[in-house]
Every structure is written in structure tokens, then in C-alpha cells.
Structure 1
């Protein structure tokens, strides 16, 4: 079962992941999304999960804003500290509404309800023709997306272009953004990691954590790290540790296999 979590509180997301793994170790948490913007982008560029957990109030707005944009075809379990949104939640593909703090018993019942309603052989979907149309539109949008191919950087009072394919890693150091190239050159970049994440080809680059985006071809290997995390070693060498949190480990492994 592939699962997506919309949750901006790290401790809550971690607790939900732990409970899910306890209930069913085969559950794969594909990604934890913290904002409306990141969630819309992810759903537009990836296949739908089997089920998603939506916190209603998140960092930059309401998760209802996400649902209005993506027209979900997958079942949703809402998680929130407030009960006044229950009626609105059930206008979408909601199968349950869990109040925080989430209890294991309530979560087990919600998962059981999902399993009873949705099977591997048949998923009940309304407006199937609209779904097919939406999927085609998403596919065409994905094909037509133009990724950034180069970046202008300052070097000895000059502006020089650096090809995206030549960059091994983007990282924040002392609140400034830098890139390191495949041939071990370092340059300052005048943008943000958030903007870079939208500009880079997600098949080639991965947002490892809040401080770093790494290129697939720059990764030499990954090793297990404390508390089910992963630690990356790059071909070029890199002084700072690049840690993949356990919330992103599954998504990282799937990305590496693409």
C-alpha cells in the first residue's frame, strides 16, 4: 500500500508513520508533504497513491486548496485537531476523519475501512471519464515541462553558465546557497532551494533535506544511519553529511531505482 502524508508537523508525521508501520509493515510512505504548493506539484507530477492522509491546516494554507486543484481520485483520511471541518471533508473522497492526537485503534479502523472499500482488483471511482481526461492532461503537462538547463554564477567578477547536468549538489552553508560541480568546483547560486526544486528535473535531482538537493549521478552509495535514516556519500566527496530522514527513505529508494 503506497501512502502519502500531508502534514507540516514533523513529530506528528513521524508518529503517524510509526503507527502505520506497526499496523502493517508493508505500508510504503512515499513522501511527507508540508505545504499546499509542494503537495499540488507532487500530485501533478506523480502517480496517485493508494491512499493519502491529509492534515487540514498546514504551513501555507488549507489542504482543501490542494483538493480543489488536483481533483483527487484516491481515498483520503483526514487528520486534524479540529472537528468543524468534518462535513466539508466528506465532500471529497474521504473515508474517515481522525482527530489528533491520533490513536492506534482509530487508525486501525480507518485502514480496515479502506481495505473493505478498496481492493486491488477494483477501485470505486466516480466520474471515470473525467479521471481519464485529467490523467491525460497531467501526462501532457509533464511532457511539456521545461527544466532549467544551466545556471549563471559569479566567478572572478564574471558571470559564467554552469550546466545543470554538471552539478553534483546544491547546499546551504551559513544561510547562503552554493552548488558543487562534478569536477569539484564550488559556486554561489542566487536563488533558493524551493525554487530550484521546481526548476530541476526531479528524475535527476532529489531534495535530500532542508539544506540540500543532490544529483543522482553524484551519489556513490548510501549507508544506513541512526534511526532508520540514510547517509549519502558522493563521488566528488563532500565535507558535510547528507542525511535522508526516515520519512524520505522510501521515496529516495524509489527515485534511485527510476
Structure 2
């Protein structure tokens, strides 16, 4: 399920993205848009998502302006801190109206409503090729899709989805969590390392210690230090040594060989 989020508050957008992942790891956030104008441009240039979440009051106006200036043919779930817009929202292609702060239980009901309205009988109506594609996706979901595929990061006043395959490592710095990409770019991540560890594919990422999670593709080599410990050398270079304790050395060796 491809999703677009229109929301000008970074923390709210990240929370919504995380809740969607918890409800269904197959949900993919294509983009987070913060303004009316950027939303209109995006919808004009890109294929329609399966569903979109519209915050009503955004940075440069109201998301109703987007609907008035474009022809959108996908279902919408409105999100807002104000309930006075409910009646107007349902004049558009709206299937639900969620009040902030969004509760996981309410979001689950909204997603369930979407699935009942828009996907319930689709597998019967679609052609054989689409059925085959669906079967393949179900098979893949047993292995790869249960893990996070991207994270929302801030870049030049925009929120963009960052593919996990571009990440070299996650690390703790001054009590905040950041990631460093293969291209040596740094982004703040609004999740703890503990939550990240549970959401990342363990075949691709390894919790080296309390301060760092490394991607397999970033590991260049490891040196034995202090008898049975390992110092992992990564690219791009990390600002501090990445040390693996002797208790984790065997697990690391097994992981790196897989």
C-alpha cells in the first residue's frame, strides 16, 4: 500500500509513519509534503498513491485548497487537531477523520475501513497477471517486508523517505540518534537504537554495541583488539571506534559471513 502524508509537523509525520509501519509493515510512505503548493506539484508529477493522509491546517494554508485545485481520485483520511472541519471533509473523497494526537486503535480502524471499501473484492476482479503479482508479494512479505524499508528524515526543511539500503550505520551522539549514509550524509533519527534494532533486518544490520548499529555493506574489516574484542572499520569512517565485546564476537562473525 503506497501512502502520501501531508503534514507540516515533523514529529507528527514521523509518529504517523511509525504507527502505519506497526499496523502493516507493507505500507510504504512515498513522501511527506508540508505545504499546499508542494503537494499540488507532487500530485501533478507523480502517480496517485493508494491512500493519503491530509492534515487540514498546514504551513501555507488549508489542504482543502489542494483538493480544489487538483483532480484527485484516491481515498483520503483527514488528520487534524480541530473537529469543526469534519462535515466539510466528508464532502471530498474522505473515508475517515482522525483527531490528533492520533491513536493507534483509531488508525487501525481507518486502515481497515479503507481495505474493506477499496480492496475487499479486488483480487476477484483483477486479471491473472495481477493475481500472480499479489502471490509474489505475499511470499516476499514472509522474509523482507516485515522490516523497515525507509525512514523519514529532515533535509532542507523537507521530510524525505531515506531507503535503509543507503544507510551505513546508526549511532548515538550527545544522547541523540543519527544515521550516516553510504554517501557520507548525516541525518537525525527520531527513534532509539533499541527500537531501530527491532525494526531493522538482522541480516543487513548488526547491533555492535550500545552506541552503534552497523550495516553489513559498510563493514570493510575488523581488527582483533584487547585479546578477544573486535574493532570494526566502516566506510564512511565513524568518529569513534566501534568495538564489539568478546561476548558478541561469535555472533558478529556468523553475521558477516551470511
TM norm structure 2: 0.53
- Residue 231 of structure 1 corresponds to which residue in structure 2? 181
Q: Is 1:210 matched up with 2:156? A: yes
- Cα distance in 2 for partners of 1:19, 1:116 equals 20
Q: Which has the larger radius of gyration?
A: 2
Aligned-residue offset at 1:29 = 0.3
Q: Secondary structure at the match of 1:72?
A: coil
- Residue 10 of structure 2 corresponds to which residue in structure 1? 10
- Alignment coverage as a number of residue pairs: 149
Unaligned runs of at least 5 residues, structure 1: 124-206, 213-220, 234-240, 248-258
Aligned-residue offset at 1:38 = 0.5
- Aligned partners of 2:168 and 2:182 also within 8 Å: no
- Aligned partners of 1:57 and 1:80 also within 8 Å: yes
- Aligned partners of 2:178 and 2:187 also within 8 Å: no
**What do residues 84-137 of structure 1 show as CA deviations (whole Å, max 9, x unaligned)?**
0011101111000000000000000000000000018649xxxxxxxxxxxxxx
Within-5 A mapping of 1:1-258: 1-119=1-119, 122=122, 209-210=155-156, 222-226=166-170, 231-233=181-183, 241-243=184-186
Moved over 2 A (4+): 120-123, 221-230, 241-247
Aligned-residue offset at 1:246 = 7.0
Aligned-residue offset at 1:39 = 0.4
Aligned-residue offset at 1:208 = 8.0
CA RMSD of aligned residues (A): 2.8
- Aligned partners of 1:230 and 1:245 also within 8 Å: no
**What do residues 136-155 of structure 1 show as CA deviations (whole Å, max 9, x unaligned)?**
xxxxxxxxxxxxxxxxxxxx
Aligned-residue offset at 1:244 = 6.1
Aligned-residue offset at 1:242 = 2.6
- Aligned partners of 1:53 and 1:79 also within 8 Å: yes
**What do residues 164-217 of structure 1 show as CA deviations (whole Å, max 9, x unaligned)?**
xxxxxxxxxxxxxxxxxxxxxxxxxxxxxxxxxxxxxxxxxxx982179xxxxx
- Cα distance in 1 for partners of 2:115, 2:108 equals 11
- Cα distance in 2 for partners of 1:10, 1:40 equals 20
TM norm structure 1: 0.53
1:229–1:65 Cα change, 3 Å: farther
1:211–1:20 Cα change, 3 Å: closer
